[in-house]
Each structure stands twice: as C-alpha cells, then as structure tokens.
C-alpha cells in the first residue's frame, strides 16, 4: 500500500496519533457504560473494552498473516502483550496513593491473570508439536478459542459467586457504580462504537505502513513488529489505562490490560486461520518465543503482586511493577541485539 519510506512513516505516525486520541475517549465512555449496564468495571473491561482496544492488534496481525508474513504478524501480537503488561507498571507509577495492584484488588483480576498464563502457554506448546493442520489450521488454534470461552465462564462465575475477597484497606478502591453515571446510554454507546471503528481502521493502516517501513529500511519484521508496531497498536491500552486511573476507575484499568491480553489470544488464533501456508506457529522465527515467555513471566509476577498486595514498594510502586519494568527492558535488549 505504501511503496516509499516517507509516506510509510507519515501514515504510521498519523495512525498512531489517531489510536491515541480514540483511546483517550474510550476509557471515559467505558467507565460510564460499566456503571449504566451494571456489568461493573472488571467485567466490562474484559468483555468490551478489551476487545475494542485490541482492534488495532487484530487488524494489524491479521493483515500481516493474510499477506504471508508470519514473523511480522506474531511479533506484533506477542510483543503487544508484553507491552500491555508493561503499561501496568507505568500505571502504578502514575497512581501515587498506593500500589495499583493493592488498590484495584478483585477476584476477577486474579482470575484473569491466571487465565492469561494458561492461554499464553498454548501457542508455545504448538511450536513443539508436529506441523499438522486440519483445513489449514493447527489443532491448538480451536483449543485456544475453547480455553478463552471457558475462561469467560469462570470469570462470570467468579463475579456472581466469588469465593475469595480482598481485604478492605484505606487504599482499596472498590468497583462500585457511581450514581451520576446512571441513565440513558444510547449516545455513549454510539460514541463507544464509533471510537472502536476508528481504532480498528487505524490499526490496519498502521500495519500497512509498518510493512513499507520494513521493506524500505531492511529492518527485520521481528524487530518492526515486536517493537514499533507493538508499541503503536498498544497505545489504546496505555491511554485507556492512564485515563481510567485518573478518573478513579482502577479495576477497569487493571482488567483492561489482562482482558486485552486474553482477547489477543483470539488474535493469535485468527492469525493461524488467516495464514494460508499451514501452521503459523511453525513458520515464525524462534525469537517469537521470547515475547511469549516474557509475557508469561510478567503475568506471573503481576499475579504475585495481586495476591501479596504490597501497599508501597520501591519508589512508592509495588515490587511487581519494578520487576516487570526490568524484565521488559532486558527482553527488549535481547530482541534488539539478536536482530
């Protein structure tokens, strides 16, 4: 689509800016709709906001997979998941009253963190299985979809009948509907859907521009996808997370990140379906395993933080935030050096 470097860079920058602007609007709309629908911040963040903020990743990854670029497709979605988890550390730095994981403790967020770890292991296991496909799709792909749907059932059951409750402290910010958010929501829904459409189109333009940048500069698709497009397509998560924190919707901020990464596993499944040359898991470079394993490590660290609920830590952020910032920096260095 973009045959020279300058148009590619321009399109990349404009698309990224559009995603940032649309993402900032989505957080406030999501907080309002979470209260008006009665779903609550955690469930709304998982079911709707996560899907919307994943649209750029979905559009970008599927576009690369259909174009037979497995490294660009998988590095984008895997790199995005690591970046998203990094954003929780950034959010913890923004929220100065206490450790974010302490203040936003909820059984749903614990369940989402565990579900994400399970889902992330599936495509990595597929790499070590024989390259067998059924109708062009690896058998692990429908397993990912089934595991995601079963995870939604578990999350719903956890909300309806929780068996674990966080200890209430002065710093805990419960997920409770605000009265001023009640009322008619048709206009908010229209705005929400409009911003969702904008982010999806911007994500597709972003990946088309990324293909042009990779072709014109000679940079590896793994580096372009895992760093540049991953950061750009993840900007809705960063913007919505920071915006949610600033308006006090802490549960929404955390569930949005975990929910987005769980939804991104459906993006991985879609990439395998859209890839016409067999199993995408076996055609991608081994370095893609790096981002998947790093995401598992970061998710486990954040899960420990959610359970431990440290009030204050290093630099007034939780130990888990300090650790994931360090883990991501090391992983990024390894990927850059290896390319």
d(CA 18, CA 119): 30
Q: Read off the pLDDT band of 144 (50, 70, 90).
A: very high
pLDDT > 90 in the chain, percent:
17
Half-sphere exposure of 173 (CA within 13 A, CB side): 25
Q: Domain-by-domain residue ranges, the chain? A: 5-174+184-338
> Does the structure show a pLDDT above 90 at 295?
yes
Q: Is 5-174+184-338 CATH 3.30.70.100?
A: no
Q: What is the mean pLDDT of the chain?
A: 81
pLDDT at 39: 66
Confidence check: pLDDT of 213 > 90:
no
Least confident of 203-212, 248-257, 258-267, 272-281: 203-212
Are 60 and 203 spatial neighbours (Cβ–Cβ below 8 Å)?
yes
Residue ranges of alpha helices (H) inside 95-139 are: 100-103, 107-127
Checking if the pLDDT of 43 tops 80, the result is no
Indicate left, alpha or beta for 175 from its phi (over 0: left) and psi (-120 to 50: alpha): beta
Point out the least confidently predicted range of 42-46, 176-180, 232-236, 321-325: 176-180
When pLDDT is cut at 50, 70 and 90, the band that residue 119 belongs to is very high
């Amino acid at each position: 689509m973009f045959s020279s470097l300058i148009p590619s860079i321009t399109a990349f920058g404009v698309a990224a800016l559009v995603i940032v602007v649309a993402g900032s609007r989505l957080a406030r709309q999501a907080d309002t709709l979470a209260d008006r629908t009665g779903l609550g911040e955690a469930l709304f963040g998982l079911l709707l906001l996560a899907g919307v903020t994943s649209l750029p990743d979905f559009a970008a990854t599927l576009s690369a997979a259909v174009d037979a670029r497995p490294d660009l497709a998988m590095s984008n979605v895997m790199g995005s998941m690591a970046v998203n988890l990094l954003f929780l550390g950034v959010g913890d730095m923004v929220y100065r009253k206490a450790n974010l994981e302490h203040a936003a403790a909820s059984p749903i967020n614990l369940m989402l963190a565990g579900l994400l770890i399970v889902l992330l292991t599936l495509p990595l296991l597929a790499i070590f299985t024989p390259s067998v496909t059924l109708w062009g799709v690896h058998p692990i792909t429908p397993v990912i979809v089934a595991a995601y749907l079963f995870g939604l059932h578990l999350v719903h059951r956890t909300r309806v009948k929780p068996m674990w409750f966080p200890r209430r402290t002065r710093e805990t910010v419960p997920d409770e509907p605000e009265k001023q958010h009640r009322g008619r929501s048709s206009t908010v829904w229209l705005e929400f859907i409009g911003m969702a459409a904008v982010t999806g189109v911007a994500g597709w333009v972003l990946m088309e521009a990324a293909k042009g940048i990779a072709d014109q500069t000679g940079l590896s698709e793994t580096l372009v996808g895992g760093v540049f497009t991953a950061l750009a397509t993840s900007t809705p998560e960063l913007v919505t997370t920071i915006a949610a924190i600033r308006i006090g919707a802490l549960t929404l901020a955390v569930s949005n990140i975990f929910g987005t990464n769980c939804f991104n596993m459906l993006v991985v499944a879609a990439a395998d379906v859209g890839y016409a040359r067999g199993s995408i898991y076996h055609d991608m470079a081994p370095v893609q395993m790096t981002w998947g394993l790093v995401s598992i490590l970061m998710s486990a660290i954040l899960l420990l933080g959610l359970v431990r609920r440290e009030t204050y830590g290093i630099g007034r952020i939780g130990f888990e935030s300090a650790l994931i910032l360090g883990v991501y920096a090391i992983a990024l260095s390894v990927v850059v050096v290896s390319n």
